[in-house]
Amino acid sequence: MFTFSQSGTTRPWATKRRMSLLAAGFAIIPTKLKGCLLISKRSRRQTREPTTVVRQRPRRYNCAIHPPGPRRSANRPDYSTGRSLMSAELAFMSAVELAENIRQKKVSSLEATENFFERIHRLDPQLHSYLTLCQDQALADARAADDAAQRGGGLGPLHGVPISIKDLELTKGVTTTMGSAVFRDRTPDMDSIVVERVKASGAVILGKTNTPEFGQSGTTENKLGEPCRNPWNTERTPGGSSGGAAAALAAGLCTVSMGTDGGGSIRIPASFSGVYGIKPTQGRVPRYGGYGRPSANHFSQSGPITRTVADSALLLQVVA
């Protein structure tokens, strides 16, 4: 049994107290015995030092020096690699700001789209956030968006903004697996209503994000490839079932993401990855063509995963 020594007294409840403090981001540290959080009965006789409670700073890893791996982060590497700041600015710019910059011709959709694909090819081999990329079509759509911006008028709310779609949404001409090896080679000839509305808003679809088979798991693992990893710590999961969408967004591999949620499939990955996620009210977003099991449509909803509340409101308005 472990107990805790504080000013010469024994605290049998130390374990429970320690866990509650650690959950809040604190650590119990003896002032002269740094790192000794719990003291055995034998060690208690060797020290009677008082304790202090200090706030721990989150540990960040420099993946420019150390490639992503155990206990290292793949997130936001541009700030430590010496790459141009513009790459990071475009990658982490909000959808509201990026759409406005594209309308004002300060940034081109093609520039933003090419930047995302460069980051995807560089970072996603460690994260596995995408199952399918639509690079050729996305670049063509970005060029068309820039041409339309030059002409002006009639631009959608997400005009030229790169977006990712969870691989539970039917997407015309793009492999849609539902996270299952059964549908590894399936290419739908129609879009779900959500994808139709995303396209109508002027957004550029980068690809389909990773999901467990039919979205039936709180982690993002399937038989199509490697498990999806959390960009803040690649030893960890980003949650599920919209784990690929949240991981891609948190790592700066898209501007906004569309996910689905039945029992936490947007909310869990959003909380694990440090982004915003909403499960809309049932019926707010049409579900036709958006899920592998029709019986799930009575509780599953499509919803946004974003880095800002304003982006969530904008994307929800587009698909609702």
Q: Strands, E, within 150-277: which ranges? A: 162-166, 204-209, 256-261, 276-277
Between CA 244 and CA 105 the distance in angstroms is 31
User: Shortest CA distance to 263 belongs to which of 279, 249, 243, 246?
Assistant: 279
Nearest Cα to 222, choosing from 179, 265, 183? 179
Whether residue 241 lies in the annotated active site: yes
Q: How far is CA 259 from the centre of its chain?
A: 10
CA atoms within 13 A of residue 98's CA, in its CB half-sphere: 33
Choice among 5, 108, 129, 241 that is catalytic: 241
In eight-state DSSP terms, residue 266 is T
- For residue 300, indicate whether it is catalytic: no
Residue indicated by tokens 């990955």: 269
The verdict on whether 94 is a catalytic residue reads no
Output Rg (C-alpha) for the chain, integer angstroms: 23
Q: Which of 5, 73, 265, 312 is catalytic?
A: 265
Determine the residue type at 229: R
* Cis? peptide before 192, omega within 30° of 0: no
For CA atoms 225, 217, 69, 165, the dihedral sign is: positive
Diameter of the chain measured on Cα atoms = 80
Catalytic residue, candidates 5, 129, 166, 192: 166
Residues 29, 4: Cα–Cα separation, whole Å: 11
Determine how β-strand 256-261 pairs with β-strand 276-277. unpaired
CA–CA separation, 285 and 279 (whole Å): 10
Q: Which of 117, 116, 105, 192 is nearest to 145 (CA)?
A: 105
Catalytic residues: 166, 241, 265
